[in-house]
Structure 1
Amino acid sequence: MDEKISDTVATSQTRSQRSRKIRAILAGGLVLGVGAAITLAAWNDSEFAQGTFSAGTFNLVGSTDGTTYTEHATAGAAATLPFTVNPTELSPGDVVYAPFAVQLAAATTDDAVVTISNEATTGVVTNLTYTLIQPTTFGCTSATTGTELVAAGTAVSSVPAATTFSLTKGATAAVAGAPVFLCFKVTAGALIAQGQSGTATWEFAAVSQ
C-alpha cells in the first residue's frame, strides 16, 4: 500500500476514534447535566397548622324575685322559696305558692338542659304534695298557668324521672341568657299531722349542650 494512502487511512481511523470518544464524553456530560438539572428542580414547600384549645364558661344562677340572680351551689346554700302563704301554719287542704327562676349567667358559652331532682328532705314532709309549673312570666299564684313540669299530686319528697327544661345562653358574652320561670304549688293533704315540720330541697342540675 502507498505510504500516503496508509497515512491517510491511519489518520482517518484516529480521527474516527477521537470522534467516538468525544461523543461518548459529550453523552456522559449530557447524562450528568440532566441529573444535575433534576437535582436543582427538586422544589421544597411546607404547610403548618395549629389549634389553640380553651375551656368555655358555664354558670347557672337562680332568683327568688325574678330580678336578682345569684348562685346557690349546694343544698346547704339553697335559696329559700318565698311562699305566699305562711307554710308553717298549714291546715288540711291549704295550698301555698312560691316562684323561682333560673338562667345562664353572662359569659356562659353553651346552652343547657336542666334536670330537676329532689336533693334532700329533713323532718316530716308526709301528706304534702306539689306541682311545678313553667309560666311565661315571673310569679306564682293560684291563677298561674304554664307548662306542667311536675304533675299535681306528686309527693314533695320526689321528682318524676327525666323532668327537664332547656336554657339558652346570652346573645353575647356580656349578657345573661333568657330566664326560665318556675312556680311551686304545695298542697297540704287531709292527713297532715298537727305540728309536723319538714324541709324539701330541689336541685336544678344544668348540663351544657
Structure 2
Amino acid sequence: MTHTPESLSSSGRHSGDQGDTKRRRRVPGRVRALLAGGLVLGVGATVTLAAWNDSEFATASFQAGTFNLQGSADGTTFADHASAPGSSLGFSVNASTLSPGDVVYAPYAVRLAANTTSPATVTITAPGTTGTVTGLSYSLIQPTAFGCSSATTGTTLVPAATAVGSVPGSVTFQLAPGTPTTAAGAAVNLCFVVTAGAGLTQSQTGSATWQFQAVSH
C-alpha cells in the first residue's frame, strides 16, 4: 500500500504523541515521590515559628536601721553620755554636805534619739561606785512628768532602802521610737531619791554611776 504524505504526517504526529505519553508514564515512582517531597519541603520552608519568651525581675535593697539612747538631767537638753561618769545628776540639796537623815532628790530622763528605728528595753544596772558610799540608800521612781521631790509619785523601779551600789534583780522599762522616725521618741522620766542613814561617817566621800543599757527589739 502506498501512503500519502498526509498519512505519514498524521501517523508521525500520532507516533510522537504516543512516545511522549510513554515517556511521561515511564517516570519512575521514586522520582515522582522525590518531586512531590520537594514540593512539600518547599511549602514547609516558608513557615516561620514565632518565639515566645518573657522575663520577670525582682530586686530588694537592705539597709540597717539606727539606734541611739540619750539622757538629760534637766528634761530639756538631751545628749549622748556613752561612758562613765556620764551626766551629773542635779540633786535638790548639796549632796556633798549630807548628814544622817537627809534625803536628796535628782530628776533624770532618757529617750531614743531621732532616726532611731526600733523600740528598746532599758535595763538599769548596778551602779559603779568610787570612794565610800556606806550608809547611803536610794529608790528610783518613774513619774509621768519630769521632776523629782518629796511629792513625786509614779511607778517604783527600785524600792526604798536599796543600798547605793546595788540593784535588786532586773529593773527594766520600755522606750518607743519617734513617729515619724525623724523625731525623737517620748522620754521616760526618772526620779532618784537618796537617803543618808545612821551609818554615814563624817567627811566620807564617794560617788555612784548608774548605767542605763538599751537593747533594741
The TM tier, using the shorter chain, reads 0.7 to 0.9
In the alignment, residue 137 of structure 1 is paired with which amino acid?
Answer: A
Is the contact between residue 82 and residue 98 of structure 1 (CA under 8 Å) also seen in structure 2?
Answer: yes
Is the contact between residue 134 and residue 149 of structure 1 (CA under 8 Å) also seen in structure 2?
Answer: yes
| 1:5-154 superposed matches below 5 A | 11-12=24-25, 14=27, 16-28=29-41, 37=49, 41-76=50-85, 78-154=86-162
% identity of equivalent residues: 55
SS in 2 for 1:45: coil
2:4 is matched with none
The alignment status of 1:181 with 2:189, answered yes or no, reads yes
Is the contact between residue 132 and residue 183 of structure 1 (CA under 8 Å) also seen in structure 2?
Answer: yes
TM-score by length of 1: 0.82
Deviation for aligned residue 1:5: 9.2
SS in 2 for 1:75: coil
Alpha-carbon displacement from aligned partner over 1:37-80 (angstroms, at most 9, x marks no partner) = 2xxx333333333333333332221111111112212103x111
TM-score by length of 2: 0.80
Alpha-carbon displacement from aligned partner over 1:163-205 (angstroms, at most 9, x marks no partner) = 1111111112442110100001112222222222110000112
Deviation for aligned residue 1:152: 1.8
The alignment status of 1:165 with 2:155, answered yes or no, reads no
Gaps of 5+ in 2: 1-14
Is the contact between residue 75 and residue 119 of structure 1 (CA under 8 Å) also seen in structure 2?
Answer: no
Deviation for aligned residue 1:99: 0.5
Deviation for aligned residue 1:139: 0.7
Is the contact between residue 62 and residue 69 of structure 1 (CA under 8 Å) also seen in structure 2?
Answer: yes
In the alignment, residue 138 of structure 1 is paired with which amino acid?
Answer: F
Alpha-carbon displacement from aligned partner over 1:68-113 (angstroms, at most 9, x marks no partner) = 112212103x111111122222222322111100111222222222
SS in 1 for 2:27: helix
Is the contact between residue 118 and residue 200 of structure 1 (CA under 8 Å) also seen in structure 2?
Answer: no
Following the alignment from structure 2 to structure 1, what is the Cα–Cα distance between the partners of residues 54 and 210?
A: 62
Deviation for aligned residue 1:7: 8.4
Following the alignment from structure 1 to structure 2, what is the Cα–Cα distance between the partners of residues 165 and 25?
A: 90
Is the contact between residue 110 and residue 168 of structure 1 (CA under 8 Å) also seen in structure 2?
Answer: yes
Alpha-carbon displacement from aligned partner over 1:105-163 (angstroms, at most 9, x marks no partner) = 22222222211113521001122111111100011111211111112222210123431
In the alignment, residue 179 of structure 1 is paired with which amino acid?
Answer: A
Following the alignment from structure 1 to structure 2, what is the Cα–Cα distance between the partners of residues 95 and 33?
A: 104
RMSD in angstroms over aligned alpha carbons?
2.6
In the alignment, residue 24 of structure 1 is paired with which amino acid?
Answer: G
Following the alignment from structure 1 to structure 2, what is the Cα–Cα distance between the partners of residues 112 and 174?
A: 17
